[in-house]
Amino acid sequence: MWPKKVKEDALVSCRRKCCVCHMFCGRNIELHHIVMESKGGESTFDNCIPLCFNCHAEAGHYNNDHPKGTKYSSAELRRHRDNWYRTVQQLDLADHKWEANENKQPKEVYEDQVVTLKGFVWREAFPGPPNYDSFDTDRIETYWMLILPEPICLFANSFETEETIKIENIKKLQLCVDPEFYSSSKEIIRTDVELTGKLFMSITGHHHGDANFDIRGQHA
């Protein structure tokens, strides 16, 4: 019998996936003694390898008197186990890093501060010249917008008085990009991306987002 702690540690280390074939097993996972108990193998974490039913049968049943196929050696099983535990550990680390980055989005941004923001790139059409008024009479202009998952607020200075203005509830940023960016970065449309740049205020009637996000010079 495996001690409770050994069992738990092994099952967590492999994420209940077989150490040889990497299949997710759920309840159908078994703990195998790498060195068999009959040969003095102990019920320790080091001597334990979680396996699916198939791999367990394969690893356990080999008839030396009637050799067929290729035997699983203890050293090999141990390496499979160590490789798989290491992979799971790396996956866990990557998950945590992703979660940490998720919450990294700044909530308050100052004009001209270089910030990195995550969002969804949305291409939006507006009436353009000559009257910027109607899709029927004007040419269509399209802009790329960055839709933020959570609203942010921007601190900017008033053009006239230098007074600090707080613009709240900013969700949609109009991207200011180099002309080449439209053709070189088409693949980011309708995807989640992370862009670096500087925010500046929208001028009503001129800009289409809650604020502008100037990413010129920040992206190759």
195 binds Zn ion (CB under 5 A): no
User: What are the residue ranges of helices labelled H in the chain?
Assistant: 4-14, 53-60, 74-102, 179-184
52 binds Zn ion (CB under 5 A): yes
Q: What is the distance between the alpha carbons of residues 118 and 197, in angstroms, rounded to a whole number? A: 11
48 binds Zn ion (CB under 5 A): no
For Zn ion, which is the closer residue by CB, 85 or 143? Answer: 85
Amino acid at site 70: T
25 binds Zn ion (CB under 5 A): no
- From the CB of 29, what's the least distance to Zn ion, in Å? 9
Amino acid at site 173: L
6 binds Zn ion (CB under 5 A): no
55 binds Zn ion (CB under 5 A): yes
For Zn ion, which is the closer residue by CB, 82 or 124? Answer: 82
Q: Are 84 and 22 in contact (CB under 8 A)?
A: yes
18 binds Zn ion (CB under 5 A): yes
| Burial track 90-103 (b if 16+ CB lie within 10 A, e otherwise) | eeeeeeeeeeeeee
Which of 47-55, 72-80, 114-122, 194-202 is the region at the interface with Zn ion (rule: CB under 5 A)? 47-55
Where on the chain is the footprint of Zn ion (CB under 5 A)? 18, 20-21, 52, 55
